[in-house]
């Protein structure tokens, strides 16, 4: 049925109401689709759930490809404030995305691209461009069938591009949001066209557990699921997020209300680490239920892969030692602002069987004197200055870097943290008391950090920074060379400012070592200090390339040094 339906709807002719562009060579049924929706509220962890289930299917030898849809009209996530949307994750090709793409890369150990990320802004921009080129043959362009048709085409293109066995589609936001209603409709149409045997709908909901009642309540979940069903989406599986494991009573209520078998109502309670979720889903047999629903056959090798993941989680949870790391930032109220860094620390901690505790330090409060530097940094074994933009909190960060340098506390500066280390060193070691960045003080007399020459003619903000994976040449005989073990590496960047080449010689004469640079140009990308157990900064975002079973070298050795430090 699906084959005949797609063949009959592929035309753009105005003789009928269908618009379903099919990529050349696409075979319905070859690729299966798992669609994850959220109900009740946002922030339940749809991305973690999707990545975890995809990981289990990947362990079975299936080729999986994830997609994240965000309904907002931004073209990408590049201009979003961390307070509103968490961190901006940068892909290898320079695409600035939602943080869930980071979860997919980490869990699945794959490299994603613009083809794995879709926003409302991107869809409508494409549709309007096609309309201007006359590609809709005089039709009145509508949400249905044209916008929904382009969404389905995006997914089918990805299926062919990745030769995927299963596409995992995470629908951002919550069912009932006006901004994702057309995408939900596109998923209903996808099942209609592909055949329900090729599409598995999963609803992630939330089970309330008010303290004043002392019991779990499912009414909000029931209403959210009912809203999803009203869109024509009948879920095959319902995943229930909760504080504690869901009761059989709740499972039965959800089951009878939503026409979903009790064994397809899956409980996902709070865990110590997101990396436990695949183990939880495995215990619930969710992966095999999905295989059964989609009629998928799997290959051998799952046991070995699952064993490796389980060992990683057990090392993470059964740590023999612990360290405390100071995260000195300006978005510390929203932990998702530093999601990839926190994950990278977990990767390193598992490899070293060390629990990494985070002490959050809002540098604005150090800057304005509300809190004392010595009190805030007391007892920490390492200090991180993460990335960020804008002047607020910068002077507090500089004080933290000075404290780390003078007291020989392991230090890792990431992007802005690299630049802050240069400013601090210039001021307090080289005697350049006015040293600053032109980002913070445009008329500073000593601009040790200045805008990249390529950025001088840039007028727009979105997608215009130095972005994505780039080669870094590492100097022989340096700590960076020792840690990476290679002459050249590739890391991901997201910045507009650099260490000003005019000041490099003065900085180096006083002991700062620039151990990594861009090929052919004087853009410094790694710095270190020789007379310090671990003092390193990188202009790139090293957190974007760390993986659970392959920790990023800077994080791994930073935690090693933190373990050896006695606060």
Evaluate if residue 277 carries a pLDDT over 90.
Answer: yes
Distance in angstroms (rounded) separating the CA atoms of residues 468 and 446:
29
Give residue 562's pLDDT.
97
- Alpha-carbon span 399 to 67, nearest angstrom: 42
Top mean pLDDT of 111-115, 371-375, 519-523 is at 111-115
Asked if 418 and 494 touch (Cβ cutoff 8 Å), the reply is no
- pLDDT: is 457 or 440 the higher one? 440
Domains 29-310 and 319-564 share a fold: yes
Tokens of 483: 């840690």
Residue 454 has pLDDT above 90, yes or no: no
Can you give the pLDDT at residue 235?
A: 97
Mean pLDDT of 6-12: 51
Q: Which residues are catalytic?
A: 415, 541, 543
Tell me the pLDDT tens digit for each residue of 421-446.
Answer: 999 999 999 999 999 999 999 999 99
Predicted confidence (pLDDT) at residue 300 exceeds the cutoff of 80: no
Over the Cα atoms of the chain, what is R_g?
A: 25
Q: What are the sequence ranges of the domains in the chain?
A: 29-310, 319-564
Choice between 267 and 369, residue whose per-residue pLDDT is larger: 267
**Beta strands of 310-465 (E only): which ranges?**
321-329, 354-362, 382-385, 411-414, 435-437, 446-451
CA 432 to CA 555: how far, in whole Å?
31
Which of the four pLDDT bands, split at 50, 70 and 90, describes residue 6?
A: low
At 42, the pLDDT band (50, 70, 90 cuts) reads confident
pLDDT recorded at residue 332: 63
**What integer pLDDT is reported at residue 366 of this predicted model?**
87
Which of 3-7, 35-39, 494-498, 527-531 is predicted with the least confidence, judged by mean pLDDT? 3-7
Would you say 105 and 344 are in contact if contact means Cβ atoms under 8 Å apart? Answer: no
Is 34 a residue whose pLDDT tops 70?
A: yes
Q: Which carries the bigger pLDDT value, residue 392 or residue 457?
A: 392
End-to-end CA distance of the chain: 68
- Mean pLDDT on 215-242: 94
Per CATH, domain 29-310 is 3.40.50.300: yes
Q: What is the reported pLDDT for 341? A: 96
What pLDDT is recorded for position 527? 97
Tell me the two tokens of residue 411. Answer: 């230090």
Instruction: State CA 377 to chain mean position distance.
Output: 28
- pLDDT of 543 reads 96
Q: Flag whether pLDDT at 351 surpasses 70.
A: yes
Predicted local distance difference test score (pLDDT) of residue 11:
46
Asked whether residue 16 carries a pLDDT value surpassing 80, the answer given is: no
Query: What does the block give as tokens for 35?
Result: 């669609």
Per-residue pLDDT tens digits for 311-342:
999 999 998 899 999 999 876 666 678 999 99
- CA angle, 69 as apex, 277 and 171 as ends, to 5°? 55
Which is nearest to 106 in space by CA: 54, 158, 156? Answer: 54
**Fold type of domain 319-564:** Rossmann fold (3.40.50)
| Residue-level pLDDT at 15 | 60
Q: What global pTM score does this model have?
A: 0.92
List pLDDT tens digits, range 380-403. Answer: 999 999 988 778 889 999 999 999
Beta strands in 265-338 (DSSP E): 265-269, 321-329
């Amino acid at each position: 049925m699906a084959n005949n339906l797609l063949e009959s709807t592929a035309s753009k002719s105005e003789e009928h109401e269908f618009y379903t562009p099919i990529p050349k060579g696409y075979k319905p049924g070859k690729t299966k689709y798992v669609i994850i929706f959220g109900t009740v509220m946002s922030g339940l962890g749809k991305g973690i759930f999707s990545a975890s289930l995809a990981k289990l299917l990947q362990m079975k030898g299936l080729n999986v490809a994830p997609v994240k849809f965000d309904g907002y009209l931004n073209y990408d996530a590049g201009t979003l404030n961390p307070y509103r949307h968490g961190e901006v994750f940068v892909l290898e090709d320079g695409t600035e995305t939602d943080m869930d793409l980071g979860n997919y890369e980490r869990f699945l150990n794959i490299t994603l691209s613009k083809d794995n990320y879709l926003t409302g802004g991107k869809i409508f921009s494409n549709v309007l461009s096609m309309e201007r080129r006359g590609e809709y043959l005089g039709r009145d362009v509508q949400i249905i069938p044209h916008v929904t048709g382009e969404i389905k085409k995006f997914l089918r293109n990805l299926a062919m591009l990745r030769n995927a066995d299963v596409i995992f589609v995470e629908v951002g936001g919550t069912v009932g949001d006006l901004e994702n209603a057309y995408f939900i409709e596109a998923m209903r149409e996808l099942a209609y066209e592909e055949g329900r045997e090729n599409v598995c709908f999963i609803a992630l909901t939330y089970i309330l557990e008010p303290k004043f009642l002392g019991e779990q309540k499912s009414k909000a979940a029931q209403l959210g699921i009912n809203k999803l069903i009203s869109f024509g989406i009948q879920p095959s599986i319902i995943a229930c997020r909760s504080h504690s494991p869901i009761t059989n009573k709740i499972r039965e209520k959800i089951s009878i209300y939503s026409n979903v078998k009790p064994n397809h109502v899956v409980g996902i309670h709070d865990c110590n680490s997101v990396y436990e979720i695949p183990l939880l889903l495995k215990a619930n047999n969710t992966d095999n239920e999905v295989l059964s629903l989609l009629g998928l056959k799997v290959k051998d090798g799952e046991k070995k892969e699952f064993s490796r993941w389980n060992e990683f989680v057990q090392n993470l949870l059964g740590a023999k030692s612990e360290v405390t790391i100071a995260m000195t930032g300006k978005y510390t109220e929203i932990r998702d602002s530093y999601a990839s860094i926190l994950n990278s620390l977990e990767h390193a901690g598992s490899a070293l069987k060390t629990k990494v505790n985070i002490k959050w330090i809002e540098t604005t409060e150090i800057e304005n004197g509300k809190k004392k530097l010595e009190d805030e940094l007391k007892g920490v074994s390492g200090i991180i200055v993460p990335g960020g933009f804008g002047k607020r909190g910068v002077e507090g960060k500089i004080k933290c870097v000075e404290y780390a340098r003078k007291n020989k506390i392991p230090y890792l500066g990431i992007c802005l943290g690299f630049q802050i280390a240069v400013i601090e060193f210039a001021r307090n070691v080289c005697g350049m008391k006015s040293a600053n960045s032109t980002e913070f003080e445009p008329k500073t007399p000593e601009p040790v950090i200045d805008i990249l020459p390529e950025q001088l003619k840039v007028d727009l903000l979105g997608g215009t920074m130095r972005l994505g994976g780039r080669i870094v040449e590492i100097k022989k005989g340096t700590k960076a060379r020792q840690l990476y073990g290679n002459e050249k590496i590739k890391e991901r960047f997201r910045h507009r400012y650099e260490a000003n080449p005019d000041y490099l010689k003065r900085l180096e004469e006083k002991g700062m070592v620039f151990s990594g640079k861009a090929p052919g140009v004087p853009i410094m990308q790694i710095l270190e200090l020789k007379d310090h157990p671990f003092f390193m900064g990188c202009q790139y975002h090293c957190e974007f390339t760390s993986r659970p079973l392959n920790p990023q070298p800077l994080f791994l050795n930073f935690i090693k040094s933190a373990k050896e430090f006695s606060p």
